[in-house]
Structure 1
Amino acid sequence: MSDKGVGPAGGAPAGTAADPAPQTARSAAVWEALRELLASLAGAGDGPLRIVDAGGGTGGAAVPLAALGHEVTVVEPSPDSLAALERRAAEAGVRVRAYQGDTVDLHTLLPAAEAHLVLLHNVLEYVDDPASALTDVVGVLRPGGAVSVLAANAFAAALHRVLLGGVAEAHRILDDPDGRWGEGDPMPRRFTAEGLTGLTARAGLVAPRVRGVSVFADLLPGRYDTGHEDEGALAALESEAARRPELAGIATQLHVVAFRPEG
């Protein structure tokens, strides 16, 4: 396992930089929720927040968070992803601390109970034991801190298979405990909102908030990719949809924020 700080030291003081978050329809709901969460966590004390991105990949979330002035650490198993993170951080002019490792390594890589926020985005689908991975994350989270979990939604996958003509595959998704449509399914695991909130509760987290991510964007034709003239309107629609819990069932991904209890 390796440890290195990537990109120049420093960065703008927390809350003073222009918002560097990616403004796309598919990411709009997540970044809106993160902005609200960062504001509430920052209100509990002075100085930058300590943020850990477990399975942070190439820094798609970590670098914008560092650009806001927060102290960000990425723990990622892929050396290629870490190399890409280093380039991205350098281009953005920010510093991100990086370690090579998995969630099981968090307790040896990072101080216990120190992080204000831990991101666990698109990770639980792939780990051997989602419950253990979430427990590992909670170990580095301070009391009152938050975990942001983003994971594939099984019910939305069933809807998408039906739209492609795969009625039998959709039925398999609903019956399968891992939410898969068959042996050829490239996704190892999908979740329901109930399943994700159950995992957070078993890890000792409280007050879960569930939002749907990409309720409409993934139902549109390919011409609505990033850069389409209606991208801004679609992003606004996704932000509105995320605030309506009744739409979470058809969202491609589920975003759950839960908190480690105080004391």
Structure 2
Amino acid sequence: MSDPMRPRASLRTAVVWEVLKDALDRRAKSGGDPSLDVLDTGGGSGRFAVPVAALGHRVTVVDPSPDALFALERRAAEAGVADRVRGVQGDVHGLFDVVDRSSYDAVLCHGVLEYVDDPAEGLRNVAAALRPGGLLSLLAAGLGGAVLSRTLAGHFNEARQALEDPDGRWGEQDPVPHRFTVDRLTTLVEGSGLRVGAVHGVRVFSDLVPGVLVDTEPGAREALLRLESAVASLEAFHSVATQLHVLAEAPPAS
């Protein structure tokens, strides 16, 4: 089974996976049904979708790439969860051309918001896919992490540019169209009609530590994972995280 906690992926996904797994468990218990309907927007080849399906949930992945969806199908089959994973081609701006509104207990929106033309519109669509009381797991690029990494690389003008640019871009060659502060991201979430439950800083240190140290020093990877988990919920570290993770909920049924 593909697992976000396997060694190569773990430093990038461990914090999000543990938070998401616990949140899905709480949602399932509160709804009285152990199997949730989960939508993974931009879920690609199934890095999260397949492990979520392995928990017993039904997962629909919406992604614009046919190649990614083919890889998703293969990965789901190899993991023995093909009957619980469905892939459809599309994106968040045309989301309701391929899925129904108010049809999901949980929506994953990981690494999507920074690449869409209009993040506010994209997030409104994502929120509209949730059932009352549904869960959103949102992961997006953090501004502070980019400023810090450009500074440590000696690109001081680019770091200043990212800090001052409305979209957090460090220059014309920057491959990321949008980066977010916690305030901007939570404002977008609240503007979509959802209630913010928790914010986590992701990859606070792991992008800054030399890979050779993590790969060769005995116990280094596990120690770094524990450190990332320890600081993820501490507000003081959110401003330097490479990514920001937000858990949010849709209003309950009236």
Fold match by TM threshold 0.5: yes
Alignment of 1:165 with 2:154, yes or no, is yes
Which of structures 1 and 2 has the larger relative contact order (alpha carbons within 8 angstroms, sep 6+)? 1
Of the candidates 27, 30, 39, which is equivalent to residue 16 of structure 2? 30
Structure 2 residue matching 1:43: 3-state secondary structure:
helix
Structure 1 residue matching 2:166: 3-state secondary structure:
coil
TM-score by length of structure 1 reads 0.89
Give the superposition deviation at 1:58: 0.8
Of the candidates 216, 228, 234, which is equivalent to residue 238 of structure 1? 228
TM-score by length of structure 2 reads 0.92
Give the superposition deviation at 1:207: 2.8
- Alpha-carbon separation, structure 2, partners of 1:55 and 1:65: 15
- Alpha-carbon separation, structure 1, partners of 2:238 and 2:72: 31
The residue that corresponds to 2:251 in the other structure is 261
The residue that corresponds to 2:68 in the other structure is 81
Q: Encode CA deviations 1:167-196: one digit per residue, 9 max, x unaligned.
A: 111111110001011111111111111110
Cα distance change, pair 105–226 in 1 and its aligned pair in 2 (3 A): farther
Cα distance change, pair 126–227 in 1 and its aligned pair in 2 (3 A): farther
Between stretches 38-47 and 176-185, larger displacement belongs to 38-47
Between stretches 170-179 and 102-111, larger displacement belongs to 102-111
- Opposite residue 27 of structure 2, the aligned amino acid is L
Contact in 1 for aligned 2:2/2:75 (Cα 8 Å): no
Structure 1 residue matching 2:204: 3-state secondary structure:
coil
Structure that is richer in helix per residue: 2
Contact in 1 for aligned 2:199/2:233 (Cα 8 Å): no
- Alpha-carbon separation, structure 2, partners of 1:43 and 1:80: 35
- Alpha-carbon separation, structure 1, partners of 2:18 and 2:2: 11
Cα distance change, pair 19–172 in 1 and its aligned pair in 2 (3 A): closer
- Opposite residue 138 of structure 1, the aligned amino acid is A
The residue that corresponds to 1:150 in the other structure is 139
The residue that corresponds to 2:210 in the other structure is 221
Contact in 1 for aligned 2:189/2:196 (Cα 8 Å): no
- Same amino acid, percent of matched pairs: 50
The residue that corresponds to 2:130 in the other structure is 141
The correspondence of residues 56-205 of structure 1 with structure 2, limited to 5 A, is 56-95=43-82, 96-205=85-194
The residue that corresponds to 1:11 in the other structure is none
- Alpha-carbon separation, structure 1, partners of 2:235 and 2:2: 26
- Alpha-carbon separation, structure 2, partners of 1:156 and 1:54: 24
Of the candidates 199, 204, 224, which is equivalent to residue 210 of structure 1? 199
- Opposite residue 27 of structure 1, the aligned amino acid is T
- Alpha-carbon separation, structure 2, partners of 1:19 and 1:143: 30
- Alpha-carbon separation, structure 2, partners of 1:107 and 1:192: 28
